[in-house]
Structure 1
Amino acid sequence: MIINLILIPNSGLKVIILKQLKEEWFAYFSSEHYSDSPNFYSSENFDWAKAIEANSNEIATEITRIINSADFTPKGYFIKGLTVQSGWKTFSFLTWGIKINEALTLTPVFNNLLAHFPEIVSISINILEAGEKIKAHHGDSNTFYRCHLGIDIPQGLQKCGFRVNNQDAEWKNNKLLIFNDANKHEAWNLSDKKRVIVVFDVIRSEYKHKKKAICLKIRSFLILQLLFEQYSFIKKMPKWIHRIINSSIFILLFLLYPYQKKHGVIKKHN
Structure 2
Amino acid sequence: MSAVEAMVRAGDLAGAAEQLEQALGEEPSLTRYLQLAGLRRALRQPHRALRAVEAGLALAPLDFMALCMRAGLLEGIGDPGVGRAWDEALAQRPEGDLPPPLLAAMAHGEALRDQWRAARAAQMAQATQASEAVGGDEAWRIARFRSNTLRQTRPYYSEPTHFFYPGLSMREYHPAERFPWLADLAAATEAIRDEMLAVMRSDRAELAPYIQYAEHQALRQWQPLNHNPDWTAIHLIRRGEMVSANAAQCPVTMELLSRMPQPDIPGASANALFSLLAPHTAIPPHVGVNNARLLCHVPLVVPDGCWFRVGAETRMWREGEPFVFDDTIEHEAMNPSDHLRVVMIFDIWHPDLTPGERDAVRAIVAQETAAGNLG
TM superposition shift of 1:73: 3.7
Q: Deviations over 1:102-130 (max 9, x none)?
A: 32211111332244334363210101111
Go from structure 1 to structure 2 and tell me whether the alpha carbon gap of 1:162 and 1:95 turns closer, same or farther (over 3 Å shift): same
CA gap of 1:220–1:75, structure 2 versus 1, over 3 A, is: farther
Map of 1:100 onto structure 2: 243
Deviation at 1:37, TM superposition (A): 1.4
Q: CA deviation at 1:39?
A: 1.4
Distance 1:105 1:134 in 2: 29
**CA pair 45-61 structure 1, distance change in 2 beyond 3 A:** same
- Percent identity of paired positions between Structure 1 and Structure 2: 21
Q: In the alignment, which residue of structure 1 is the partner of 2:292?
A: 143
- Residue aligning to 1:55: 188
Q: Which amino acid aligns with 2:315?
A: A
Calculate the aligned-residue CA RMSD, in Å.
3.1
Structure possessing the higher relative contact order (Cα contacts under 8 Å, 6 or more residues apart): 1
Match of 2:252 in 1: 109
3-state SS of paired residue (1:66): helix
Match of 1:131 among 267, 272, 280: 280
Tell me by how many angstroms 1:163 deviates.
Answer: 0.6
- Decide whether aligned partners of structure 1 residues 68 and 54 sit closer, same or farther in structure 2, where only a CA change above 3 A counts: same
**Deviation string for 1:19-46 (max 9, x for gaps)?**
xxxxx97424659xxx961211243431
Q: 1:205 aligns with which of 346, 351, 358?
A: 351
SS of 2:181's equivalent? helix
> 1:57-86: CA deviations, max 9, x gaps?
211111111112234342112155153992
More displaced, 198-207 or 42-51? 42-51
Cα distance change, pair 83–111 in 1 and its aligned pair in 2 (3 A) = closer
- Change in Cα spacing, 1:50 to 1:105, as seen in structure 2 (3 Å) is same
Which structure 2 residue ranges, 5 or more long, are not aligned? 1-157, 214-221, 264-269
Q: One-letter code of the match for 1:109? A: V
Aligned pair 1:83/2:225, yes or no?
yes
Q: CA deviation at 1:204?
A: 1.8
Contact 1:147 1:178 in 2 (8 A): yes
Q: Please state whether the residue corresponding to 1:116 is helix, strand or coil.
A: coil
Tell me how many residue pairs correspond in the alignment: 197
The answer to whether residue 352 in structure 2 is matched with residue 249 in structure 1 is no
Residue aligning to 1:15: none
- Given that 1:43 and 1:50 are in contact with CA atoms closer than 8 Å, whether structure 2 keeps it comes out as no
Distance 1:177 1:44, change over 3 A: same
Normalized per residue, which structure has more strand? 1
Confirm or deny that 1:192 pairs with 2:338.
yes
Contact (CA 8 Å) 2:275, 2:342: kept in 1 or not? yes
Counterpart residue type for residue 329 of structure 2: N
Preserved contact between residue 60 and residue 174 of structure 1 (Cα < 8 Å): no
Output the TM-score relative to the length of structure 1: 0.63
What is the aligned partner in structure 2 of residue 161 from structure 1? 307
Higher fraction of helix: 2
Q: 2:371 is paired with a residue of what secondary structure?
A: helix
